[in-house]
Each structure stands twice: as structure tokens, then as C-alpha cells.
């Protein structure tokens, strides 16, 4: 079967840059889907995307579909005809479904059958429909109309190229009649560009100052930015999303170095970087110490004979932006940071939970409580908590919301606050996402924990629990943040006492009954997913959860120990024995005695197990107290042999009630040793 290259290019007004890559990928996906549905084979396909065009090139596309035969089974013959041989509705309906008269249906077998040979259609006739369907299915949230036409697309269409081999595919899509003429760069080559063949598309557009491949433009921009940054003795900040967006804004990228006045460097560099990246799409430069240089890189869409004009224009445009940031910074510094709390007393945090200032006061008290328990300074924790929300009322954060926390850090330093207090104002929001940076100071950790726990307690306390699809207060993220800070920073904190303290802070604003256990259950439930992601078996998590440690760090240390224990050869037998012991103890009449009376032993296995338990207890107690859980379980593994011998030789439910009660006490002592770490019975 013969094959030819196929090209489709839709020319438009400038497409939305943030959506360009997605539009290109979806256009390709839709065309490939249509080709496969039509049974048209091809060697390969790729997309091109630039500000004014979307294109797909299909290599070696079959010129026609293969012939195919359709075989359809109908109703049984006895159901298709009545006793007189007249066709029933079942037979007539089958014939109608096949699009033929009943006489054309095969009636020779037990069922009616219809076979039809369908010759393959030419690809040339199928391609317009495939392209149109793909364009209609593009992920465009809001389509627009233009002129008096009823056609709709993301932007007005301007031209359409459709070539199959060297032949123009005769069709009209989005009010554009297909031909072989594309258009060059809007300024360098603002004229028609004849596409001689699909395979020549990228090359012939390049001659007209258009790099059609978005990935090639991206790579070219990134490489040139790196070169220019090195020439300026710096390194460029190149966020992937910004690089994608800039690559979608230009057809012929020309990066250029610009500068701004050094006086602006007195403004927090995060604000300058934010405004230059978000508003102007510039790439900022840092020196070897990570400090902002008074230079930036812009990416022009023209190769100017006088680049200084473009540079000057960009420097002129950025100056008012930087001046605004400078003005806000100076205005905010006219009053101490703490004074902004007065404004927050009129800003609602949540209608039932009070103002943002109320939250700051609660966070202050809770941060002081936490700081004193994780080895930090309680007074500094409380101070940082009180200042934690102040910058939300500042001019800087009002203009640049991304500066929350960061602005507070600079204003706190300006007021002479201790370094860790200032850092805590930004670190309270950490971690900002999965795997993101954690607080570097104990004061910052205390405020971050306090902020998250206060939100969890408050929102749970008014009954606004997250559902499967809705979590408007990001409570799951808050819980995971609490766990990450405590576990990964190795901080010891009793969450039970801490959550109870947080509940008391709210007073009558929340329903306190049962609130603390509910919040704790929600937090520790997040650990299950965390461990599953790490490859820890769910039974290991359940074994630790059963003994309910209230310190996440302690919980994690136990999990790691049980995970290691599972790999020991004795683990399976001991887990089964613990399960058996648990079942026996659950059926015991009355309370199991706490003491063991050796004179009731009447088998060697009992004496042996009791001695082994006493020996293990002496070894394990100090290990468990010092959180050496892995070593403790390794010691307990030595009990396998005496435990197995006990169950083989001893009938626990002896007839003599005193002997039976003594054996239950022995097993309870055995189980208690393991419960000092985890309930390993769930491993069995």
C-alpha cells in the first residue's frame, strides 16, 4: 500500500501562551486518534506550535483504508419467521439495522447473517473530517467568534495549510479554505510562505524567521540565557513554567541583557523577582551568593539592527514596576510590624472562629507551648506567633501576595527582632507542598506547627470536615505538614497534649467534646498514605497504630523497627503466636492477673517461657525507654523457640482455674513485651 506525508497547519491570531503546548499536544492526539479509528496506518507523527500557528506532520500516511468485511449475526431463524413463514419484527429490524432488504440477508443457517464487503476509502477524503474533529475537541475553556461568522475557536483563524504529499487537500475548516501557503514572521517576513512538501515545513518556515518547533525554541532560549548569564558573572533564575510561557510568546527568540538602577536592590529581592517574572516575563540574574544582580534578560521576538532600542524600552517599562515595589516597602517600614495587627483585628479569618488577629493570638500561645517542648525558646515562639500574620495587612503583600511571610521577615529584621523570629514569619508556611522545604529554626517549626494545628482544630471544631473531593482549608496538607516537620526534623512532641491545648484556646467557639481525638485520628491517618508511598506494608502501620503513640516521631521510629522486624526469620511465627495470644486473652473470664505464680507451673515449657520472658524483659525495657525499638524487637525475636514449645506442650485452658489464670497471666506478660513497641499480631 502506498503512503505519503501529510501536513496540516492552522494559522491564527496570537494563541494564549500558557495553553500553547497543551493545544499542540491535543491537536496531535486528536489527529492520531482519528487516523487509528479510520484504520489509516502511518510511520510517525509530531506537532508544531508557535504563537500564530498549530501544525501536525504525519509521516508516511497510508493513502487509503484497507478493505474490510463486516459480519453481523441476527436473531435465530425460528424467531425471525412465524409458523406461516412470514418475517417477524425481529427479522425486519435486523434487515433495517444492516441497511438492506430482508432478501439480502443470509437465512441458510440457524441464525440470520449478513456479510458485507466494504472497500477502503481514500485518506484524502477522510482527512478533513479527522482534522475538524480534532480541532473541535481541543481543550479550550472559552471559544470566541469573529466577524459575522458563526465559527468558533480559541482565536480568529487566518489561514489553513493542508497537504497530502504534494497535493492540496480541498476543504474548508474554520472559515479558511485549505491551500499550501503559510505565513512568515510578522515583522521579518510578513508575507506568504509556500510549503513545497510536508517534510519541508519546518525548514521553509525557518527561512521566513519562524522556528515552528516549540521544544526547539525552548532549548534555544535556555541555552542562550545561560550563556548571557555567565557573561554577566551570574546565574539566571529560569522557572520551567516561565520558560514554557516565553517560548510560546516568540517565533524567533533573541534573548538580550537589560539592567535597572542599583538603588532598587534595597527592596526585598523576592518582590523584585516576582514583579519581573510575573508581569514582564523576564529572567532575573543572581550573583554567586544568591543575591539579585541589577540586570535581567528579556527575550525579544525580533533580530533588531539596533538591539539597544529594545533594551532601552524594556528598562523603561520595568522601572515603574520596581518603583512601586520600592514605594510599598518604604511605606510599610514607617510603622513597626506589630502595628499591622490593629488592621487584622477587622479582618475575618472565619466567620465562626473570629478575626485574623484572634488567630495570631492563638498561634502565639500555641507556638510558645510547642517551642518549649521541642527544645526551642518559648518566648520567641510566642513573639513570632504574635507577628506571624502582620504582613498580610502590609502594602507589599497587598500588591504582591506571593510575598506573605517573606515581607514579614524583612520588616521584622528592620524592627530589630531576633533572626529566628524573623525567619519564623516565612517558615510558618512551610512546607509549601509535597517534598518542599521545612523550617530551618526551632522557632519557625513551632510557629508552623501552631498555625497548622490551630487551623485543624478550628475547622474541625465547627464541623467543616474535608470530603473526598473538597478540602477548602487544605486540612490534609496541614496535617501532612505537621507530620513532616516533626518526623523529618526529629522533633519530639506529644500531639495529644498539644491538640488539647489548641482546643482550649478556642473556648466556646468550638464543640470541644471529642474534638481532640477526632483531630488526632485525622492527622495520624495521613501517615498511612505516607508509608504506602515509601513501600511500607500497611500491616506495619496498623501494628503501630494499634498501640496509639501520640508522638509522630515515636510513631515513625516504631514503624521503622517493625518494618525491619518483618524481615527476620522469626517474625512470621511470633506474629502468629501473638495473634493466638490476643485471641485467647480476649476470651478470658474476668481480669487477667498481673502477677505470675511459678508454683502453678506444671510443665517444663512454662518454666522455660517464664524465664525467657524475664530475661527478655530485662533486656528490652531499657531499649524501649531509649526508643531503640529495632534492637528491642531483635531481642524479642529470641522468644520464638520457647513460645513455640509452650503452645506445643501446654493446654492454656486448663481445668484447674488457678493454673488456667496463671497461664493467662504468663501470656499477657508475653504480649505486653511486644505491645511496648507495636501490636505485631496484625502482621500475621
Tens digit of pLDDT for each residue in 364-380?
Answer: 999 999 999 999 999 99
Is residue 684 over pLDDT 70?
A: no
Cell 532600542 sits on residue: 309
Per-residue pLDDT, averaged over 603-629, amounts to: 90
Q: Is 423 left (phi over 0), alpha (psi -120 to 50) or beta?
A: alpha
| pLDDT-based confidence at residue 1 (cuts at 50, 70, 90) | low
What φ, ψ does residue 429 adopt, rounded to 5°?
Answer: -90, 0
Per-residue pLDDT, averaged over 632-656, amounts to: 87
Is residue 550 over pLDDT 90?
A: yes
- Domains for the chain: give ranges and CATH numbers: 3-65+123-208 (3.30.70), 74-114 (no CATH), 214-333 (no CATH), 337-535 (1.10.3210), 556-682 (1.10.730)
| pLDDT-based confidence at residue 577 (cuts at 50, 70, 90) | confident
Residues 143-191 pLDDT 10s: 888 877 788 899 999 999 999 999 999 999 999 999 999 999 999 999 9
Percent of the chain with pLDDT over 90: 71
Residues 201-214 pLDDT 10s: 999 999 999 999 99
Asked if 164 and 178 touch (Cβ cutoff 8 Å), the reply is no
Kindly report whether the peptide bond that precedes residue 431 is cis, defined as omega within 30 degrees of 0.
Answer: yes
| pLDDT-based confidence at residue 651 (cuts at 50, 70, 90) | confident
All three cell numbers of 515: 474534638
Candidate from 174-188, 434-448, 564-578 with smallest mean pLDDT: 564-578
Residue among 112, 71, 72 nearest 92 (CA): 112
Residues 39-85 pLDDT 10s: 999 999 999 999 999 999 999 999 998 887 778 888 898 888 888 88
The gap between the terminal CA atoms of the chain, to the nearest Å, is 62
pLDDT of residue 428: 97
| Radius of gyration, alpha carbons of the chain | 37
All three cell numbers of 211: 522556528
Is residue 193 over pLDDT 80?
A: yes
Q: How far is CA 308 from the centre of its chain?
A: 43
- Helices (H) then strands (E): counts for the chain: 26, 17
Cell 505538614 sits on residue: 481
| pLDDT-based confidence at residue 267 (cuts at 50, 70, 90) | very high
Percent of the chain with pLDDT over 70: 99
Give the total residue count for the chain.
684
d(CA 642, CA 377): 50
Asked if 669 and 590 touch (Cβ cutoff 8 Å), the reply is no
Cell 532575573 sits on residue: 284
Is residue 653 over pLDDT 80?
A: yes
Is residue 506 over pLDDT 70?
A: yes
Is residue 422 over pLDDT 90?
A: yes
- Residue 467: beta bridge partners? none
| pLDDT-based confidence at residue 27 (cuts at 50, 70, 90) | very high
d(CA 242, CA 283): 8
pLDDT of residue 309: 96
pLDDT of residue 118: 77
Is residue 311 over pLDDT 80?
A: yes
Average pLDDT taken over every residue of the chain: 92
| pLDDT-based confidence at residue 486 (cuts at 50, 70, 90) | very high
Cell 480476649 sits on residue: 586
d(CA 18, CA 16): 6
Query: How far is the CA of 219 from the CAs of 15, 55, 209, 222, 577, in angstroms?
Result: 20, 19, 17, 5, 62
Cell 506568504 sits on residue: 192
d(CA 95, CA 607): 88
Asked if 6 and 50 touch (Cβ cutoff 8 Å), the reply is no
All three cell numbers of 670: 508475653
d(CA 428, CA 497): 21
Query: How far is the CA of 185 from the CAs of 115, 182, 254, 600, 602, in angstroms?
Result: 55, 10, 13, 99, 99
Amino acid at each position: 500500500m502506498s503512503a505519503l506525508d501529510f501536513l496540516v497547519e492552522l494559522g491564527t491570531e496570537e494563541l494564549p501562551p500558557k495553553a500553547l503546548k497543551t493545544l499542540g499536544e491535543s491537536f496531535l492526539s486528536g489527529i492520531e486518534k482519528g487516523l487509528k479509528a479510520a484504520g489509516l496506518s502511518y510511520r510517525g507523527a509530531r506537532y508544531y506550535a508557535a504563537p500564530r500557528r498549530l501544525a501536525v506532520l504525519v509521516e508516511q500516511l497510508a493513502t487509503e483504508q484497507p478493505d474490510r468485511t463486516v459480519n453481523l449475526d441476527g436473531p435465530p431463524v425460528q424467531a425471525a419467521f412465524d409458523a406461516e413463514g412470514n418475517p417477524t419484527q425481529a427479522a425486519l429490524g435486523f434487515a433495517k439495522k444492516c441497511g438492506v432488504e430482508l432478501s439480502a440477508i443470509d437465512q441458510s443457517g440457524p441464525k440470520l447473517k449478513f456479510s458485507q464487503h466494504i472497500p477502503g476509502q481514500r485518506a484524502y477524503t477522510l482527512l478533513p473530517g479527522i482534522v475538524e474533529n480534532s480541532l473541535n475537541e481541543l481543550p479550550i475553556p472559552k471559544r470566541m467568534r469573529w466577524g459575522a461568522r458563526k465559527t468558533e475557536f480559541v482565536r480568529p483563524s487566518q489561514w489553513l495549510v493542508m497537504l497530502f504529499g504534494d497535493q492540496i487537500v480541498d476543504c474548508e475548516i474554520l472559515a479558511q479554505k485549505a491551500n499550501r501557503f503559510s505565513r512568515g514572521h510578522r515583522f521579518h517576513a510578513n508575507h506568504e510562505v509556500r510549503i513545497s512538501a510536508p517534510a519541508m515545513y519546518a525548514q521553509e518556515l525557518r527561512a521566513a524567521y519562524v522556528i515552528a518547533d516549540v521544544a526547539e525554541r525552548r532549548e534555544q532560549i535556555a541555552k542562550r540565557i545561560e550563556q548571557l548569564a555567565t557573561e554577566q558573572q551570574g546565574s539566571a533564575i529560569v522557572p520551567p513554567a516561565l520558560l514554557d510561557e516565553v517560548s510560546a510568546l516568540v517565533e524567533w527568540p533573541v534573548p538580550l541583557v537589560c539592567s535597572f538602577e542599583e538603588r532598587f536592590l534595597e527592596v526585598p529581592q523576592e518582590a523584585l523577582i516576582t514583579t519581573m517574572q510575573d508581569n514582564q516575563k523576564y529572567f532575573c540574574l543572581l550573583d554567586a551568593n544568591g543575591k539579585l544582580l541589577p540586570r535581567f534578560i528579556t527575550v525579544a521576538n525580533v533580530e533588531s539592527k539596533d538591539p539597544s532600542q529594545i533594551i532601552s524600552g524594556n528598562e523603561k517599562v520595568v522601572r515603574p514596576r520596581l518603583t512601586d515595589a520600592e514605594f510599598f516597602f518604604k511605606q510599610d517600614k514607617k510603622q513597626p510590624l506589630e502595628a499591622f495587627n490593629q488592621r487584622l483585628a477587622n479582618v475575618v479569618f472565619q466567620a465562626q472562629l473570629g478575626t485574623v488577629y484572634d488567630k495570631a493570638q492563638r498561634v502565639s500561645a500555641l507556638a510558645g507551648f510547642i517551642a518549649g517542648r521541642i527544645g526551642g525558646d518559648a518566648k520567641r515562639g510566642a513573639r513570632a506567633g504574635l507577628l506571624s500574620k502582620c504582613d498580610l495587612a502590609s502594602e507589599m503583600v497587598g500588591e504582591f501576595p506571593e510575598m506573605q511571610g517573606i515581607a514579614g521577615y524583612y520588616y521584622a529584621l528592620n524592627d530589630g527582632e531576633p533572626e529566628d523570629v524573623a525567619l519564623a514569619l516565612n517558615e510558618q508556611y512551610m512546607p509549601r507542598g509535597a517534598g518542599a522545604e521545612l523550617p530551618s529554626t526551632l522557632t519557625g517549626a513551632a510557629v508552623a506547627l501552631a498555625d497548622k494545628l490551630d487551623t485543624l482544630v478550628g475547622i474541625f471544631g465547627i464541623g467543616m470536615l474535608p470530603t473526598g473531593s473538597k478540602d477548602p482549608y487544605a486540612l490534609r496538607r496541614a496535617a501532612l505538614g505537621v507530620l513532616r516537620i516533626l518526623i523529618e526534623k526529629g522533633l519530639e512532641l506529644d500531639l495529644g497534649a498539644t491538640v488539647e491545648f489548641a482546643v482550649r484556646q478556642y473556648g466556646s467557639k468550638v464543640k470541644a467534646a471529642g474534638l481532640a481525638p477526632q483531630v488526632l485520628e485525622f492527622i495520624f491517618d495521613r501517615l498511612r498514605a505516607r508509608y504506602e508511598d515509601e513501600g511500607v506494608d500497611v500491616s506495619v502501620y496498623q501494628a503501630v497504630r494499634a498501640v496509639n503513640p501520640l508522638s509522630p516521631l515515636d510513631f515513625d521510629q516504631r514503624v521503622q523497627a517493625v518494618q525491619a522486624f518483618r524481615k527476620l526469620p522469626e517474625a512470621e511465627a511470633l506474629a502468629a503466636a501473638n495473634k493466638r495470644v490476643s485471641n485467647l486473652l480476649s476470651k478470658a473470664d474476668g481480669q487477667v492477673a498481673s502477677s505470675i505464680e511459678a508454683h502453678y507451673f506444671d510443665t517444663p515449657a512454662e518454666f522455660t517461657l517464664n524465664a525467657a520472658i524475664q530475661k527478655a524483659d530485662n533486656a528490652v525495657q531499657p531499649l524501649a525507654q531509649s526508643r531503640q525499638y529495632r534492637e528491642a524487637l531483635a531481642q524479642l525475636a529470641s522468644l520464638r523457640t520457647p513460645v513455640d514449645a509452650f503452645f506445643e506442650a501446654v493446654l492454656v485452658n486448663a481445668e484447674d482455674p488457678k493454673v488456667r489464670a496463671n497461664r493467662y497471666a504468663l501470656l499477657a506478660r508475653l504480649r505486653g513485651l511486644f505491645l511496648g513497641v507495636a501490636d505485631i499480631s496484625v502482621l500475621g
